[in-house]
Amino acid sequence: MLLLPTFNAALQPCPVSPAAFEAHEKGHFCGSCQRVVQDFSQSPNPVADLAAARAAAPDGRVCGSFRRTQTMAPPPLTRRLRWFLLALVLVLGQGLTAHEALAQVRQPAQKQQKPLASRRRAPLPPDENPNRVYGSIMEMMPVFQGGGNRELIQYIQQQVIWPQENGKIVLAEGRLFVSFSVGSDGLVRNAEILKSFNSRFDEAVLQVVRALPPFEPGLQNGLPVSVSMTLPITFKLK
């Protein structure tokens, strides 16, 4: 499994050869899994485009292609570089001289090792890590007034006041993507537009999202946690 360093998304290699894909307007189509394989390799804003694709997918999963540089893991630190960084911390943090710091980091490995039992630490449960915000893979996602994302999107569309300019309705159609987090208390925070098509519509949607009534908070390990959500909002003239 590879990790996109700039997208915060986990990737799993596809067993199907690209030669088996069919041409599609958004990239290619895979007949094996019946999914569109979207091309993110040339995207000018891959972070927003990937978030938008995940939000539009029914199960939050997306098939896509990326450049090799987008999926390369960061190079590991060499032993010499680790020594240098640790020595720098000792010099700046404890006021040691360069020779004293090097002497500390070059001590025999057996003197620095602690018993395995004392070095192991159990992972923090969610209630001890209140600042963590979870994504789409959850034990239970936040629930809005007894409904899912479809009901939430419909509520936002009904509450939005169509933008006007010089007393006339703005004649524009398009789709934007809004992101926000639902806290462990069920309240909406950190609303922002990930992908816009018109600034007036952005403000109209943000005003509604920031005033959303409380959700039933998401759960992880049976405990309420903060969860990040992304929704597509479509504007269409009747």
| Alpha-carbon distances, residue 236 vs 51, 57, 63, 198 (angstroms) | 22, 20, 28, 13
Which sequence spans correspond to the domains of the chain?
2-70, 133-235
Choice among 34-43, 77-86, 95-104, 120-129 with the minimum mean pLDDT:
120-129
Residue 119 has a pLDDT of: 44
Residue 74 predicted with pLDDT over 70: no
Q: What is the total residue count of the chain?
A: 238
Q: 9-11 and 218-220: which strand pairing?
A: unpaired
Residue 211 has a pLDDT of: 94
Cβ 217 vs Cβ 124: under 8 Å: no
Choice among 136-145, 168-177, 188-197 with the minimum mean pLDDT:
136-145
Residue 139 has a pLDDT of: 76
Residue 151 predicted with pLDDT over 50: yes
Phi and psi angles of residue 228, each rounded to the nearest 5 degrees, phi first: -90, 135
Confidence of residue 117 (pLDDT cuts 50, 70, 90): very low
* Lookup result for tokens 């003239």: 237
- In whole numbers, what is the pLDDT of the chain averaged over residues? 75
Output 53 or 98, whichever has higher pLDDT.
53
Q: What average pLDDT score do residues 57-70 get?
A: 73
Output 84 or 172, whichever has higher pLDDT.
172
Q: What is the secondary structure of the chain as a DSSP string? A: -EEETTTTEEE---SS-GGGPEEETTEEEETTTTEEEEE-TT-SSHHHHHHHHHHHSTTS--EEE--GGGSPPPPPPPHHHHHHHHHHHHHHHH---HHHHHHHHTS-HHHH---HHHH--PPPPGGG-TT-EE-S--SB--BBTTB-HHHHHHHHHHHPPPPEETTEE----EEEEEEEEE-TTS-EEEEEEEE-S-HHHHHHHHHHHHTPPPPBPEEETTEEEEEEEEEEEEE---
Q: What average pLDDT score do residues 145-158 get?
A: 88
Confidence of residue 58 (pLDDT cuts 50, 70, 90): low
Q: What average pLDDT score do residues 116-126 get?
A: 45
CA dist., res. 134 & res. 70, Å (int): 23
Residue 204 has a pLDDT of: 94
CA dist., res. 152 & res. 82, Å (int): 49
Tell me the pLDDT tens digit for each residue of 182-213: 999 999 999 999 999 999 999 999 999 999 99
Residue type, 114: K
Residue 164 has a pLDDT of: 86
| Alpha-carbon distances, residue 98 vs 47, 93, 104, 182 (angstroms) | 42, 12, 10, 48
Output 236 or 91, whichever has higher pLDDT.
236
Q: The tokens of 99 are what?
A: 């020779």
Residue 187 has a pLDDT of: 95
Cβ 219 vs Cβ 142: under 8 Å: no
Q: Which top CATH class is 133-235?
A: alpha beta
Phi and psi angles of residue 234, each rounded to the nearest 5 degrees, phi first: -105, 135
Q: Which range among 60-64, 167-171, 225-229 has the greatest average pLDDT?
A: 225-229
Output 81 or 224, whichever has higher pLDDT.
224
